[in-house]
Structure 1
Amino acid sequence: MASDLLGKSGRAMLDALASGTTDPTVLSDLAKGQLRKKIPALREALTAFFTGHHAIIVTEILAKLDYLDDAIGRLSTEIDRVIAPFADTVALLDTIPGVDLRTAQCLIAEIGVDMTVFGAAERLASWAGRCPGQYESAGKSAGGKTRKGSKWLRLYLHEAARAASRTKNTYLSAQYGRIKARRGPAKARVAVEHSILVAAYHMLDRDEPYHDRGADYFTRRRDPAHHARRLAAQMDALGYDVAFTRRETPPTDTPKAA
Structure 2
Amino acid sequence: MCPGNHESAGKRRFGGRCHDNQHLQPVLVEAAWSAVRHPGYLRSLYHRHVMKNGGYRSPVAKKKAIVTVAHAMIVIIWHVLATGKPYHELGEDYFTTRKDPEKEAQRLIAKLQVLGHKVTVELAPA
Check whether TM > 0.5: yes
What residue in structure 2 maps to residue 149 of structure 1? 20
Aligned match of 2:36: 165
Whole-angstrom distance in 2 between the partners of 1:149 and 1:185: 21
Aligned partner of 1:174 in structure 2 is: 44
Is there any run of 5+ residues in structure 1 with no aligned partner, and where?
Answer: 1-129, 228-249, 253-258
Q: C-alpha separation between the residues in 2 aligned to 1:145 and 1:164?
A: 23
Match of 2:65 in 1: 188
**1:223 Cα deviation (Å)?**
2.6
Contact 1:132 1:143 (8 Å CA) reproduced: no
User: Could you tell me how far apart the structure 2 residues matched to 1:153 and 1:175 are?
Assistant: 21
Q: Which has the higher contact order (CA 8 A, sep 6+)?
A: 2
When residues 225 and 201 of structure 1 are mapped into structure 2, their CA distance, relative to the original with a 3 A threshold, is farther
Q: Deviations over 1:193-229 (max 9, x none)?
A: 11110110110111122110000000012334577xx
Report how many aligned residue pairs link the two structures: 101
User: Following the alignment from structure 2 to structure 1, what is the Cα–Cα distance between the partners of residues 87 and 97?
Assistant: 20
Partner of 1:73: none
Q: Give the AA of the match of 1:157.
A: L
Q: Deviations over 1:125-158 (max 9, x none)?
A: xxxxx12112234542112111111001001101
Q: Aligned pair 1:205/2:75, yes or no?
A: no
- Matched with 2:97 is 220
Q: Which moved more, 1:209-218 or 1:135-144?
A: 135-144
TM, length-normalised to structure 1 = 0.36
Amino acid aligned to 1:166: R
* Aligned amino acid, residue 150 of structure 1: N
| Residue pairs, 1:68-107, within 5 angstroms | none
On the 8 A contact 1:167/1:173 being kept in 2, the answer is yes
C-alpha separation in 2, matches of 1:191 and 1:136 = 20
Structure 1 197/222 Cα, relative in aligned 2: closer, same or farther at 3 Å? same
TM-score normalised to structure 2 length? 0.71
Structure 1 pair 142–251 and aligned structure 2 pair: CA distance change class (3 A) = closer
Trace 1:38-117 onto structure 2 (pairs within 5 A): none
User: C-alpha separation between the residues in 2 aligned to 1:226 and 1:207?
Assistant: 35
Cross-structure match for 1:59? none
Between the aligned residues of both structures, percent identity stands at 39
Instruction: Pick the structure with greater CA Rg.
Output: 1
